[in-house]
Amino acid sequence: MGLFKTKQKGSDGAGGKDSHLDMTGGSIWRNMVAFAVPVFLGQLFQQLYNTADSIIVGNFSGKGALAAVSSSGNLIFMMTGFFMGLTLGAGVVISRYFGARDYKAMEAAVHTNIAFGAVCGVLMSALGFFLAPQMLILMNTPADVLPLSITYFRLYFLGAFFTLMYNTCMSILRAVGDSRTPLYYLIFSSVVNVVFDLIFVGPLRMGVAGAAIATVISQAVSAAMCFAKLLRSTGPERVVFKRIRFDGPMLHQIAGQGLPSGVQNSIISIANVVVQSNINAFGSDAMAGCGAYAKVEGFVFLPITAFTAAITTFIGQNLGAREYERAKRGARFGICCAVTLAELLGVILYFICPFVIRIFNNDPAVVAIGVSQMRTECFFFFALAFAHGVSAVMRGAGRARMPMFTMLACWCILRVTYITLAVQAFPAIETIFWAYPITWGTSCVVFLLYYLKADWVHAFERENGLRTAPGK
């Protein structure tokens, strides 16, 4: 078992100092809610500080600056999503070894993940900085917005290393059931971001550059705090500097789980970049309005993100412990929660959308476009939540390739094909908005059929021969 004693179910880990959550025993709904709530709150604060950039920039620097900041989201995620997906593979692997009580293998996975995340972070920062102008031009970014977009994009990616390192460390903590610690760090970094936003964009009049620098500072703070937590830990997730290295077999396992998730994130982002390029062709009002909607939609993702994170960890731990029926029950509960909450938020947003869009900018043209997109898409959030929920189940079960291929077919090929053909036939921005409900619904059907018919509970065990603890 290595250096660490086997933790009893329901304990707080070594000496009660670590916030571990063993999800292989006890009440399923209590375990999942206990894990999901801190994730939800953490993502809420992260979304708030991302939104703060747009609100502060939109009110202090005008709709051109708002368009530059808000419309950069899809391109940023296209660059970061691949690398973040790679590190997700480690979280799945670590959660299984944690559930199986194989702490020696877990130690190798943790240190390999840190090394892998650092290399990916450096590469991501370099690519983002140097490719910014070319990518923004390919997206049909209007000439009046392009210089501001390049400035924001390049400055953001100078600090992208910290973003990836935070996510790398966070994936380790969540794998052992600790979703509370990342919450505390996100709250603190959110406050840091808003304070520096107000200083840089307000009195110092630094515009989009100030917003980007504030974001980088907050990301560096959260990454440093999360890494320090792992260094201080007394549990099996502890990081020791001299042990940070690549373990060949473990790297292969992590990459095998993470590569499909990385590709999945990238292909979704590529399709969304195509969507954004078509939006950009309608001018800065469309960019600002759709950008404002995107920030609001981000809040809908919060319950989806919270429960999908809980699902993946729950499935990973329980399949590692060979608790197959428990894994199935947890999957059903998590998916139902994500779908219900997402659709409820969609209904609420339908009625209050004019008010929330005006928070970002009061220009009537901007508000009208944002409201139109929100009312087109909000009743279909259930399909989005279901697709992400089943995708989380499959990642936890070691079948990350299935969501990758489904997203490639539905959210990339179908979405791009629809945009290419439909906009030619009906050249209105509302035509673009329907790309999302159509592709969400199609993927929802595919995921439902696979979830009901596939033997996903035994997938990882068959393919990888996972060792389990005695008595399991």
pLDDT, position 53:
67
Q: What is the pTM of this model?
A: 0.73
Alpha helices in 281-363 (DSSP H): 284-320, 324-358
Round to whole Å and give the CA distance between 214 and 14.
37
Round to whole Å and give the CA distance between 4 and 101.
10
Helix axes 103-138, 73-99, angle to 10 degrees: 170
Place of tokens 């042990």: 243
**Minimum mean pLDDT among 58-72, 97-111, 409-423: which range?**
58-72
**Backbone angle region of 21, left / alpha / beta, with phi > 0 → left and psi within -120 to 50 → alpha:** beta
Round to whole Å and give the CA distance between 405 and 403.
6
Residue 300 burial class via C-beta count within 10 angstroms: exposed 0-12, middle 13-18, buried 19 and up: buried
Residue 233 burial class via C-beta count within 10 angstroms: exposed 0-12, middle 13-18, buried 19 and up: buried
Average pLDDT of the segment spanning 226-237: 89
Return the top range by mean pLDDT from 6-20, 59-73, 131-145: 131-145
**Minimum mean pLDDT among 59-63, 367-371, 440-444: which range?**
59-63
> Domain map of the chain by residue range?
26-464
pLDDT, position 272:
79
Helix axes 435-453, 381-396, angle to 10 degrees: 40
The two tokens of residue 386 are 């279901």
pLDDT, position 15:
34
Share of the chain above pLDDT 90, in %: 25
pLDDT, position 390:
95
DSSP H or E segment with residue 169: helix 160-175
pLDDT above 50 for 24? yes
Round to whole Å and give the CA distance between 283 and 54.
18
pLDDT, position 382:
94
| Contact call for residues 175 and 316 (beta carbons, < 8 A) | yes
pLDDT above 50 for 229? yes
Return the top range by mean pLDDT from 19-28, 43-52, 186-195: 186-195
pLDDT, position 60:
66
pLDDT, position 12:
37
The two tokens of residue 351 are 């009625």
Round to whole Å and give the CA distance between 463 and 266.
25
Tens digit of each residue's pLDDT (9 = 90 or more) over 331-374: 999 999 999 999 999 999 999 988 888 887 788 888 999 999 99
Place of tokens 């100078």: 158
Q: Residue 387 — very low, low, confident or very high, per pLDDT cuts 50/70/90? A: very high
Give the residue from 64, 36, 42, 80 showing the smallest Cα distance to 272: 80
CA-to-CA separations, 99 to 168, 179, 299, 391, in angstroms, rounded: 20, 16, 31, 20
pLDDT, position 68:
66
The two tokens of residue 395 are 């990642």
pLDDT, position 335:
95
Residue 88 burial class via C-beta count within 10 angstroms: exposed 0-12, middle 13-18, buried 19 and up: buried
pLDDT, position 2:
38
Q: Residue 186 — very low, low, confident or very high, per pLDDT cuts 50/70/90? A: confident
Round to whole Å and give the CA distance between 22 and 316.
11
pLDDT, position 182:
84
Average pLDDT of the segment spanning 443-457: 90
How many C-beta atoms surround the C-beta of residue 146 within 10 A?
A: 17
Average pLDDT, the chain: 82
pLDDT above 80 for 319? yes
| Contact call for residues 96 and 467 (beta carbons, < 8 A) | no
Share of the chain above pLDDT 70, in %: 88
pLDDT, position 217:
92
